[in-house]
Amino acid sequence: MSPEPVVNPERQVEAWLGRLADERQASTHTVAAYRRDLAKLLRFMQERRLTSFESLDNQLMRAFVAAEHRGGLAAKSLQRLLSSCRSLFRQLSREGQLAHDPMLGVRGPKVRRKLPQVLDVDEAGALVETDSGGKLAVRDRAMLELFYSSGLRLSELVGLHWIDLDLEGGEVRVLGKGRKTRLVPVGRHAVAALRALAAEQGDGMRPESPVFRGRGGAPINPRTVQLRMKTLALQQGIPKHIHPHLLRHTFASHLLESSGDLRAVQELLGHADIATTQIYTHLDFQHLAKVYDAAHPRARRK
């Protein structure tokens, strides 16, 4: 005899979050974000004595969005909230637990996308070539060169092991979002810096060992990387908020500026949706506009 279907909304949410973690290999941060979003929806339903997701329709969902907006939730957070609800409803529909789409025609406020800050070529060069001195100098140089050379996320860099690197071939295999792996080229300066780090580690460098180590040989703490970058930027007098993702943005912007190949940049960054990568086309246009204003005789501004 088959078990009775799960109809309690709280249990349906927990069952779906469990699938995200187990079947789709979603990160703990992603699952926690979905849980916070859907807790808002469950509270909204409790306040209105709605006992199932079948009770929801597009008018109620619009009321839900309006209430959250009045409560001070920003446009970007509202869009993520609606995305969480859509994902849940799609799964329930696939499983036959929801006969209609409560989100039909429901839209959140438009998000004004903020362009990421990037370093120019001179600033990037000054940062990655910093000689921090002392026993951390070799490690620091290798981290910065790899960030700028390959556009890695912070989590990808701290999770690297020597077995993931092919210094002869100039490649690195990284584990990205959704536990998807991708191969990324490693530039010659980064290869040289990594070879220097390997020589420094000597006999302690084994294939399964972390490339960037913290205390006791464990992988370096992400917060340590952030603080080191901030310190090195201050030493170089770079007047910008320096963080690991800034070098990822810089990598993407400089690559797109030189190649114009948006699809290649998408692959290298590991973006599932090219719309995420398209923000760098706006940065590229800004660069071209500055060149135009500076060079065209009819465009110069007094």
> Domain with 138 in it: what CATH number?
1.10.443.10
Which of the residues 40, 62, 177, 182 is marked catalytic?
177
Residues 88 and 127 in one domain: no
Residues 88 and 126 in one domain: no
- Is 239 part of a structural domain of the chain? yes
pLDDT value of position 4: 44
Residues 70 and 183 in one domain: no
pLDDT exceeds 90 at position 38: yes
Residues 232 and 162 in one domain: yes
pLDDT exceeds 50 at position 149: yes
Is 189 marked active-site? no
Give residue 228's domain range: 122-294
- Is 102 part of a structural domain of the chain? no
Which of the residues 40, 182, 271, 287 is marked catalytic?
271
Q: Where are the alpha helices (DSSP H) in the chain?
A: 9-22, 28-47, 58-70, 75-94, 121-128, 137-150, 154-158, 188-201, 222-236, 244-259, 262-269, 274-277, 279-295
Which of the residues 141, 248, 249, 254 is marked catalytic?
248
Residues 139 and 243 in one domain: yes
CA-CA distance, 128 to 44, in Å (whole number)? Answer: 50
Which of the residues 40, 90, 245, 287 is marked catalytic?
245
pLDDT exceeds 80 at position 292: no
pLDDT exceeds 60 at position 283: no
Report the domain count for the chain.
2
Tens digits of residue pLDDT in 79-114? 899 999 999 999 999 999 999 999 998 887 776 666
Residues 183 and 230 in one domain: yes
Apex 34 CA angle, 246 and 183, nearest 5: 45
Which of the residues 80, 139, 141, 153 is marked catalytic?
153
Residues 166 and 70 in one domain: no
- Is 171 part of a structural domain of the chain? yes
Helix (H, G, I), strand (E, B) or coil at 174: strand
Cα dihedral 66→67→73→76 (10° resolution): -30
- Is 105 part of a structural domain of the chain? no
Q: Which of 57, 79, 94 is the last residue of a domain?
A: 94
Mean pLDDT confidence for 26-53 = 92
Which of the residues 141, 228, 249, 280 is marked catalytic?
280
Q: Which two tokens stand for residue 35?
A: 């849980």
- Is 111 part of a structural domain of the chain? no
Is 177 marked active-site? yes
Could you say which DSSP state residue 276 is in? H
Residues 158 and 278 in one domain: yes
Which residues 6+ apart lie within 8 Å of 197 measured at CB? 138, 139, 142, 211
Residues 64 and 135 in one domain: no
**Chain mean pLDDT for the chain:** 84
- Is 135 part of a structural domain of the chain? yes
Contacts 24+ apart (CB under 8 A), 85-90: 85/37, 85/38, 85/41, 85/61, 87/34, 88/12, 88/13, 88/16, 88/34, 88/38, 89/53
Residues 153 and 260 in one domain: yes
pLDDT value of position 269: 79
In total, the chain counts a number of residues equal to 302
Is 245 marked active-site? yes
Is 292 marked active-site? no
Question: DSSP string of 181-224?
Answer: EEEEE--HHHHHHHHHHHHHHGGG--TTSBSSB-GGGPBPPHHH
CA-CA distance, 153 to 32, in Å (whole number)? Answer: 20
Tens digits of residue pLDDT in 11-25? 999 999 998 888 777
- Tell me, what CATH number does 26's domain have? 1.10.150
Tens digits of residue pLDDT in 165-175? 999 999 999 88
- Is 100 part of a structural domain of the chain? no
CA-CA distance, 229 to 242, in Å (whole number)? Answer: 7
- Is 205 part of a structural domain of the chain? yes
Residues 16 and 149 in one domain: no
Residues 134 and 261 in one domain: yes
pLDDT exceeds 50 at position 53: yes
